């Protein structure tokens, strides 16, 4: 066959061998073994029944047709209302582009601001699709490691040092996957300052914005709300996490009106608009906030329950872990090789977790634990982890 394009061949999944722990665990689980899967992040519960019913009704009511390229007007209005709430900046429907999930919004953002040969900066540890998304746009990128000791928040000086003459954009994610870090105002002000100084776009992935602050912890702050940032910030959002709708593929990009107008052409040549009946279900879900408080509360309670088991345990240091759907445990005092630790933990205790090294250098020596399991299972996993560490082979540290 003729060769595929280098842009497409270049979209290889990121992350190193750590994912093999997950795949091996998954294989054993579907073969019938009782493995606890704390390695991936998809809800362990279905979409709220009200949303499902709204979708069935929309199907019965004949919503089977093409929809406007940037999204149905009422869908964009509902998205704009959420953007107003989540970013603190009054947002209109014309500043919103509906997309097939947060990933598609991220793709639109990357293609909207980067030409082949341009450079971007991505803060690590990061969500696995980020490098491939930049590569698909033909852009190069620098990985800026946010240090564990800084709670996985990036330093402005390090960001500034990574800027090159052809840098066009910076990509951040708060609340963060995989670290659970929720960026402070100071961190975001520092990032914003660099973006303003070097005239950069800031791509801000905020898909976990409802998953923090419920229990008095740090609240989500969007850099879009900082001085001089509205015109250079593109916010990626989605109903996947906040509304329990991962499989429905509804997300959106918020940005300057003129930019969004140009970007509508991307929907023309890619998706040709969203699914009609799913859009109607999404409108109902957003207008009525179906599941939002319950889901946020559930993850908050799970995080608190799991961390309570870990915080009184000296061998492990909790880093980040203030929001999102994961917690990050620093196990360097037990074994600096988190991949080896994860394999051994799987074999000995039948619990699958992700080695932090899969998400970049900064997370090496850590474990990422998914909170997508009921609270009692998470407590059980914590008990197994403690038992396992107590008898961990001493020669490993030699
Ligand atoms: N951004 C982050 C940080 C994520 O963790 C995910 C999914 O896990 C996404 C974006 C994409 O989400 P979706 O495409 O389901 O909206």
Q: Domain 65-288 belongs to what topology?
A: 3.40.640
Residue 103 alpha carbon to ligand 1 centre in Å = 6
Domain ranges of the chain: 6-46+292-389, 65-288
pLDDT per residue as tens digits for the range 127-175 = 989 999 999 999 999 999 999 999 999 999 999 999 999 999 999 999 9
Helix/strand/coil for 37 = strand
Query: Which stretches of the chain drop beneath a pLDDT of 50?
Result: 15, 398
pLDDT per residue as tens digits for the range 259-302 = 999 999 999 999 999 999 999 999 999 999 999 999 999 999 99
Q: Identify which of 348, 318, 334, 317 has the alpha carbon closest to the alpha carbon of residue 394.
A: 334
**Ligand 1 neighbour 240 (Cβ under 6 A):** yes
Helix/strand/coil for 253 = strand
Residue 21 alpha carbon to ligand 1 centre in Å = 21
Asked: is 6-46+292-389 a CATH 2.60.40.10 domain? The reply is no
- Strand 201-205 and strand 233-238: the pairing is parallel
Q: What is the pLDDT of residue 394?
A: 63
Residue 102 alpha carbon to ligand 1 centre in Å = 5
Residue 216 alpha carbon to ligand 1 centre in Å = 25
What is the full DSSP assignment across 300-332? HHHHHHHHHHHHT-TT-EEES-SBTTEEEEE-T
Ligand 1 nearest atom to the CA of residue 106, by list position = 10
Q: What is the pLDDT of residue 398?
A: 42
Ligand 1 pocket: which of 47, 212, 240, 247 to mutate (most atoms within 8 A of CB)? 240
Neighbours of 195 (CB within 10 A): 23
Helix/strand/coil for 368 = strand
Residue 246 alpha carbon to ligand 1 centre in Å = 9
Composition of the chain by helix, strand, coil, percent to 5: 45, 15, 40
* Spatial distance between the Cα atoms of 53 and 246, rounded to a whole number of angstroms: 17
Strand runs labelled E in the chain: 36-37, 96-99, 119-124, 140-145, 167-173, 201-205, 233-238, 251-254, 317-319, 326-330, 351-352, 354-355, 366-370
Q: What is the pLDDT of residue 6?
A: 85
* Spatial distance between the Cα atoms of 47 and 12, rounded to a whole number of angstroms: 31
Q: Identify which of 223, 69, 106, 94 has the alpha carbon closest to the alpha carbon of residue 156.
A: 223
* Spatial distance between the Cα atoms of 22 and 343, rounded to a whole number of angstroms: 9
262-301 core/surface letters (b: 16 or more CB in 10 A; e: else): ebbebbeeebebbbbbbbbbbbbbbeeebbbeebbebbbe
Q: What is the pLDDT of residue 366?
A: 96
Ligand 1 nearest atom to the CA of residue 239, by list position = 16
**Ligand 1 neighbour 282 (Cβ under 6 A):** no
Ligand 1 nearest atom to the CA of residue 103, by list position = 14
**Ligand 1 neighbour 246 (Cβ under 6 A):** yes
Residue 203 alpha carbon to ligand 1 centre in Å = 14
Helix/strand/coil for 285 = helix
* Spatial distance between the Cα atoms of 340 and 378, rounded to a whole number of angstroms: 22
> Do the domains spanning 6-46+292-389 and 65-288 agree at the CATH topology level?
no
**Ligand 1 neighbour 255 (Cβ under 6 A):** no
Ligand 1 pocket: which of 127, 203, 208, 245 to mutate (most atoms within 8 A of CB)? 127
**Ligand 1 neighbour 378 (Cβ under 6 A):** no
Contact 78, 281 (CB under 8 A): no
Ligand 1 pocket: which of 110, 207, 254, 359 to mutate (most atoms within 8 A of CB)? 207
Q: Two tokens at 350?
A: 């039948």
Q: Identify which of 79, 36, 108, 40 has the alpha carbon closest to the alpha carbon of residue 262.
A: 108
**Ligand 1 neighbour 323 (Cβ under 6 A):** no
Q: What is the pLDDT of residue 358?
A: 87
Q: What is the pLDDT of residue 14?
A: 52
Ligand 1 nearest atom to the CA of residue 100, by list position = 14
**Ligand 1 neighbour 244 (Cβ under 6 A):** no
Secondary structure (H, E, C), 122-181: EEECCCCCHHHHHHHCCCEEEEEECCHHHCCCCCHHHHHHHCCCCEEEEEEECCCCCCCC
**Ligand 1 neighbour 41 (Cβ under 6 A):** yes
């Amino acid at each position: 066959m003729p060769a595929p394009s280098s842009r497409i061949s270049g979209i290889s999944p990121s992350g190193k061998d750590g994912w093999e722990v997950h795949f091996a665990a998954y294989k054993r689980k579907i073969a019938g073994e009782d493995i606890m899967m704390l390695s991936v992040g998809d809800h362990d519960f279905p979409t709220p029944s009200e949303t499902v019913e709204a979708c069935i009704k929309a199907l019965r009511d004949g919503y089977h047709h093409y929809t406007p390229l940037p999204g149905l007007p009422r869908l964009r209005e509902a998205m704009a209302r959420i953007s107003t709430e989540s970013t603190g900046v009054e947002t209109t429907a014309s500043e919103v582009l509906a997309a097939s999930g947060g990933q598609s919004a991220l793709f639109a953002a990357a293609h909207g601001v980067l030409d082949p040969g341009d450079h971007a900066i991505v803060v690590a540890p990061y969500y696995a699709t980020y490098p491939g998304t930049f590569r698909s746009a033909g852009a190069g990128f620098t990985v800026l490691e946010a240090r564990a000791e800084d709670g996985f928040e990036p330093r402005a000086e390090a960001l500034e040092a990574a800027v090159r003459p052809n840098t066009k954009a910076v990509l951040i994610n708060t609340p963060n996957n995989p670290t659970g870090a929720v960026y402070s105002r100071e961190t975001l002000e520092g990032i914003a300052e660099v973006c303003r100084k070097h005239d950069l776009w800031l791509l801000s992935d905020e898909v976990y914005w409802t998953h923090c602050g419920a229990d008095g912890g740090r609240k989500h702050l969007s850099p879009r709300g900082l001085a001089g940032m509205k015109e250079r910030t593109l916010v990626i959002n989605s109903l996947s996490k906040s509304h329990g709708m991962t499989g429905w593929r509804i997300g959106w990009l918020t940005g300057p009106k003129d930019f969004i107008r140009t970007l509508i052409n991307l929907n023309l040549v890619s998706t040709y608009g969203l699914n009609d009946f799913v859009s109607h279900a999404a409108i109902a879900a957003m207008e009525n906030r179906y599941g939002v408080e319950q889901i946020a509360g559930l993850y908050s309670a799970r995080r608190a329950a799991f961390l309570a088991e870990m915080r009184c345990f000296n061998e492990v240091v909790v880093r980040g872990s203030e929001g999102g759907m994961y917690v990050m445990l620093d196990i360097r005092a037990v074994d600096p090789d988190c991949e080896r630790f994860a394999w051994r933990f799987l074999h000995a205790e039948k619990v699958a977790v992700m080695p932090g090294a899969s998400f970049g250098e900064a997370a090496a020596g850590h474990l990422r634990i998914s909170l997508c399991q009921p609270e009692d299972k998470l407590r059980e996993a914590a008990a197994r982890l403690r038992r396992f560490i107590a008898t961990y082979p001493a020669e490993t540290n030699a």
